[in-house]
Chain A
């Protein structure tokens, strides 16, 4: 509790100056999050522009240099790999697929989830029960394992990833939208709308969506982060993206055998991934407090 007791002109705050400074800094600097995400997006769209060196370029004579070491090519901000490739450039190159998979998979999951949620919430009855049983069943399954199962059998590829990953995500949206749909459905003005002849899809779209959109947006941001981490995990385990494609998760796994001698190959891509997801999460939290406060 921050209590200010103002007596005869002196203001004495009980909160420590350090904490206040910190909170001022953090509240003003939140825009760093979207800025960083924007940078990552730029990396994804224009990798050639941002990569200081050719990503795949192998230079065995300059292999396993540490971060900030230089070679004739230039300064390697993140060091080099087993074959001399510049890690920083690899990370820039990896941004594209990492972001692409995460965004697309989440988008698919969102659409599917919202549709199912609306159907379940609106029609209720056996449709609702069936869909919810399905959701329950899916939540019961260790999805990660299922993903491993499917990917190993189908052969890992980007396409399969984009099909499998949304499964991690749609139940969440389905639940939210279903609850909201059910709530809207019960309110009397829907009866009025239906009585005046509005068609079902119109009713749903025009009345449920606007209410549920802020929450969905927040969830989308969070889930993009989740999916990104899931893809990284799958690629790391070998059942996700395969070379020559790169994602950050794959970079981590490539570096793993060399952990003891070249820690940067494993750690730095992870830091990048972590910071990206962190930005997403912080952004989502900020929107959530805003959306919550606004009502």
Chain B
């Protein structure tokens, strides 16, 4: 029986800029059980990264941020916590792996010290005591010769190695939740698979839940149990990974999946790009945010923003067509159904 570790309710994150309020996340809700892995998928600017930064409140110095909603982690609303209390959550209960290993590590500090930092902070061990644990961790994440390399600086490691170090930093205190923000985007394809496997293994070993932010469905397929698809700061569809590839409902998800080149097909097929551009996030639009680009949009889609309609257990879609009351519409040209 999987108890809920994390529940996000109606999360909204806005940035106040000179040009007005940019709503980067607009009404995201999901829940995550212990040890479960959720993938958040979307294009750049869809709000996937910001929604996770909001969990740890890791915004920049100049960002004027307005957050509303609830983020219930182990029964406590994280948004209600003071900065002090957040500091005891960061690194210890929730760890984060960032995207670009090149710039994410302090260039003048040794990697060992950087990993040891959170251990020292959260467990009260001295740096000397923590060292042993750090070497263990480095070994576990696949750094060869960890004893020697403790003192090396980040620039003497390759990109893949650096990302492993980042993973070590994130899991150093065995957090209950790991957030991975596009951890493989900046890496070579071969290394990507290794890192994903590493994350997956660690997750199972430590029983961590994981939020995997990515734009790559392959990553989702490899590591996640369920998926949340986002577009223009809003959630579009939420379902299990099997459902995603078999019976994705939302036209946007549909469109994204169509873009993935399929090697299994014997015939050639064209990629159907989704027409149009993602909208400006400052301008409020009536109706469904995807409607301007949607092939099957109906009148109501341009007028009223759809709620997340339940389609089954763990499957919801923010589309008027998912509404039970909607008429059946056959969506044309879904070629991969033939494969399955």
Contact = CB atoms under 8 A, between A and B. Distances in A.
Do A and B come into direct contact in the complex, CB within 8 Å?
A: yes
B310 interface: no
A3 interface: yes
B308 to A, nearest CB: 21
A1 interface: yes
A4 interface: yes
B68 interface: yes
Nearest to A2: B64
B57 A3 contact: yes
B286 to A, nearest CB: 23
A5 B61 contact: no
Contacts of B79: 5, 7
A47 to B, nearest CB: 41
Interface string B54-74: 000101010111111010000
B63 A5 contact: no
Interface string A256-293: 00000000000000000000000000000000000001
B300 interface: no
A61 interface: no
A2 B65 CA distance: 7
B67 A4 contact: yes
B64 A5 contact: no
Interface in B1-54: 18
Contacts of B70: 7
A6 interface: yes
Contact of A6 (B57, B63, B64, B66): B66
Contact of A7 (B18, B57, B80): B80
A3 B67 contact: yes
B67 A1 contact: no
Contacts of A7: 68, 70, 79-80
B24 to A, nearest CB: 14
A7 B79 CA distance: 9
A293 B18 CA distance: 11
Q: In which size bucket is the chain A interface?
A: under 10
Nearest to B67: A5
Contacts of B64: 2, 4
B59 A6 contact: no
Contacts of A2: 64-65
Given A6-B67, A7-B68, A1 B61 contact: yes
A293 B79 CA distance: 32
Interface in B91-140: none
B71 to A, nearest CB: 11
A4 B16 CA distance: 10
Contacts of B59: 1, 3
Contacts of A6: 66-68
Nearest to B63: A1
Contacts of B65: 1-4
A4 B67 CA distance: 6
A207 B67 CA distance: 46
A1 B58 CA distance: 10
A208 to B, nearest CB: 30
Interface in B219-256: none
A189 B18 CA distance: 34
Contacts of B18: 293
Contacts of B66: 4, 6
A14 to B, nearest CB: 9
A5 B80 CA distance: 8
A1 B18 CA distance: 16
A2 B64 CA distance: 5
B196 to A, nearest CB: 33
B54 to A, nearest CB: 10
A188 B63 CA distance: 38
Contacts of B63: 1
Contacts of B80: 5, 7
Contacts of A293: 18
Contacts of A5: 67-68, 79-80
Interface string A136-166: 0000000000000000000000000000000
Interface in A1-51: 1-7
Contacts of A4: 64-67
A286 to B, nearest CB: 14
A129 B57 CA distance: 52
B62 to A, nearest CB: 8
Nearest to A11: B66
A293 B19 CA distance: 12
A3 B79 CA distance: 10
Interface in B303-333: none
A6 B61 CA distance: 19
A269 B4 CA distance: 72
A2 B15 CA distance: 11
B280 to A, nearest CB: 18
B316 to A, nearest CB: 24
Given A4-B67, A6-B67, 14 more contacts: A1-B61, A2-B64, A2-B65, A3-B57, A3-B65, A3-B67, A4-B64, A4-B65, A4-B66, A5-B68, A5-B79, A6-B66, A6-B68, A7-B80
Q: Which 3 A-B pairs have the closest CB atoms?
A: A6-B68, A4-B66, A2-B64
8 contacts: A3-B67, A4-B64, A4-B66, A5-B67, A5-B68, A5-B79, A6-B67, A7-B79
